[in-house]
Structure formats: C-alpha cells, structure tokens
Amino acid sequence: MNDNQLEKYIQNANNDNAETLVSKVIDKETGDVIGHISLGKIDKKNKSASVGKVLVGNKNVIILFF
C-alpha cells in the first residue's frame, strides 16, 4: 500500500457509516506509533467484523494478539 492508497483508505474509515475502523498501534514502553490495525467488513446488524490490515513500520516489532 503506497502513501496515496493509505490516505484514501483512512479517509473512507472511522465515520458513522464506515465499514472499516482504523486504529494506531502504539508501543506501550515508548509511546511511539509503530503501525496500524483495522477492523473491516463491519456488519452492525449481525455484530461482526474481521481483522483487516495490520501494518507495522518497524520490522523488529512483534505484535501479539490476546
């Protein structure tokens, strides 16, 4: 995903009618933004969604899902 694609993706997310929510991934120890994660295919009627894109800017960072 290039910068223009990412900008358009973010512009279409996080509004009341969006099917995608995008959030920052922040390193708890440093407070640095290290990437982003999204929920996509949000279906409010059936109360379901899918983990979408997970982007990490630092290849040395390991993300654990709990």
Q: Per-domain residue ranges for the chain?
A: 3-56
Full-model pTM: 0.60
Q: Would you say 43 and 49 are in contact if contact means Cβ atoms under 8 Å apart?
A: yes
**Are 50 and 39 a contacting pair, CB within 8 Å?**
yes
Task: Give 4-45 pLDDT, tens digit per residue.
Answer: 887 787 788 888 888 888 888 888 888 888 888 888 898 889
pLDDT for residue 3 = 76
